[in-house]
Amino acid sequence: MLEGVTVGVLGGTGAQGRGLALRWAAAGIPVVLGSRDAARAEAAAKELVDLLADFGTPDAQVTGADNAVCAARSDVVVAAVPWEGHSELLALLASELEGKVVVDCVNPIGFGKTGPFPLDVAEGSAAQQAQAVLPGSRIIGAFHNVSAVVLADMLQTEVDTDVLVVGEERADTDLVIALAEAIPGVRGLFGGRLGNAGQVEKLTANLIAINRRHKTHAGIRITGHGL
Amino acid sequence: MLEGVTVGVLGGTGAQGRGLALRWAAAGIPVVLGSRDAARAEAAAKELVDLLADFGTPDAQVTGADNAVCAARSDVVVAAVPWEGHSELLALLASELEGKVVVDCVNPIGFGKTGPFPLDVAEGSAAQQAQAVLPGSRIIGAFHNVSAVVLADMLQTEVDTDVLVVGEERADTDLVIALAEAIPGVRGLFGGRLGNAGQVEKLTANLIAINRRHKTHAGIRITGHGL
């Protein structure tokens, strides 16, 4: 299902984007890191290639480009950008993202004196906001609850989490489930229609609260007979 | 921590309330089922006592009463009521609930042609709505994602799920974590302040989507080193 698929990662120089890119490249998937600054993206790509060479993947295919070139060159594009500026950044890339699956993993979360809290989003969720500004793309929500710290740590050979994948079309959610399962240890699960993205995004605030209380990097698993 | 604690379950004749009551009574905790109709609550209590006698607990302490008596007689009160009418029901019990921990496990979820979806709540969550109408009580959110079907099935000796417990005061969240862990198999985890209740409530919509796709009764586990 992933054969011939190049994955672009907008915000690929951020912690979440880099971590996902690292794991996909380690799985042999060609990845294009995107950034506002092409030079920063190229530098980050070189770092990942060097790191992967040290971990037994001498031929990792990671390149860097500005966000527009990243979007244009990729078959599936992951938005791992900050919540601040999320809709503006995506709107600028509407033509490059036209007709493509865009995987939104953005968490609208604030940090106050008493800890993390969910931010109100007029559209209901970052993913629904993305769909509103990218009517020609097919938005899938996924990878919200995966620890960037665990992704970055190649000594953790298995990433102990499920990825809830929300979206409208079965073919698209299946593709993103396959992307999730390209990361060792991860299981992808369909988690409902796009209208159910918001609570998955915001659940990251609960995981951050757990991280602080227990000095860990939490993930989630879904239990149930037959899963 | 639970010694001498009687648990009241408002909506104790509904599936979620009955299931929780069953498991707590099986653990030796005195439970009062509440209902609008005292006779229905008494009948449901007798059913649970009979069921527990068949499962090796001949001395289960389950009684039934109308909601106001249930609230007055109990030390901790669980609101397992329908989202419809949630705030009105709690507001009527404000004096009986004064000074007590009220555990809200209500999920504001709708069901449409394309599946379950989260409902907008002006206060942010059912738990925050409860806190708004019960300023003299201390609201804790918990037990949102526990399958009523699994709770009811005493042949499932272990309930394979974590319970995220959200609230303001450590002593109260610790008490509710202890209530969660009175159910075999369940782990309770502090999941953030009360402002983080909404996404835990609404995550039940994702679990219902998973149930439908996979013909299961899903729960969640939190992963992470040291948990």
Q: How confident is the model at residue B227 (pLDDT cuts 50, 70, 90)?
A: very high
- How does pLDDT run across B6-21, given as a tens digit for each residue? 999 999 999 999 999 9
Residue of B nearest to A108 (CA): B199
- Is residue B207 one of the residues assigned to a domain? yes
- Is residue A1 one of the residues assigned to a domain? no
- How does pLDDT run across B131-185, given as a tens digit for each residue? 999 999 999 999 999 999 999 999 999 999 999 999 999 999 999 999 999 999 9
Put simply, the answer to whether A218 touches B196 (Cβ < 8 Å) is: no
- Is residue B113 one of the residues assigned to a domain? yes
Q: How confident is the model at residue A80 (pLDDT cuts 50, 70, 90)?
A: very high
Substitution target from B210, B211, B212, B217 for chain A, most A beta carbons within 10 A:
B210
Residue A112's CATH number: 3.40.50.720
Question: Average pLDDT, stretch B58-72?
Answer: 97
pLDDT score of B3 more than 90: yes
pLDDT score of A174 more than 90: yes
> How far apart, in whole angstroms, are the C-alpha atoms of residue A179 and residue A182?
5
- Is residue A58 one of the residues assigned to a domain? yes
- Is residue A159 one of the residues assigned to a domain? yes
pLDDT of residue A197: 98
Question: Average pLDDT, stretch A144-148?
Answer: 97
Size of interface A-B (CB pairs under 8 A): 154
Q: Domain limits at B25?
A: 7-214
Q: How far is B9 from chain A (nearest CA, A)?
A: 26
Mean pLDDT of chain A: 97
- Is residue A136 one of the residues assigned to a domain? yes
% of chain A exceeding 70 in pLDDT = 100
Amino acid at A26: A
- Is residue B220 one of the residues assigned to a domain? no
pLDDT score of B114 more than 90: no
Put simply, the answer to whether B223 touches A199 (Cβ < 8 Å) is: no
pLDDT score of B209 more than 90: yes
Q: How far is A79 from chain B (nearest CA, A)?
A: 21
ipTM of this model? 0.96
| Count of beta carbons in the 10 Å neighbourhood of residue B51 | 18
Name the domain count of chain A: 1
- Is residue B219 one of the residues assigned to a domain? no
pLDDT of residue A114: 87
Cβ-Cβ contacts under 8 Å, B227 against chain A: 210, 214, 216, 218
Q: How far is A40 from chain B (nearest CA, A)?
A: 32
Nearest to B204 by CA among B120, B109, B72, B91: B109
> How far apart, in whole angstroms, are the C-alpha atoms of residue A154 and residue A169?
33
% of chain B exceeding 90 in pLDDT = 98
Cβ neighbours of residue A100 under 8 Å, at least 6 residues apart? A71, A74, A75, A76, A77, A137, A138
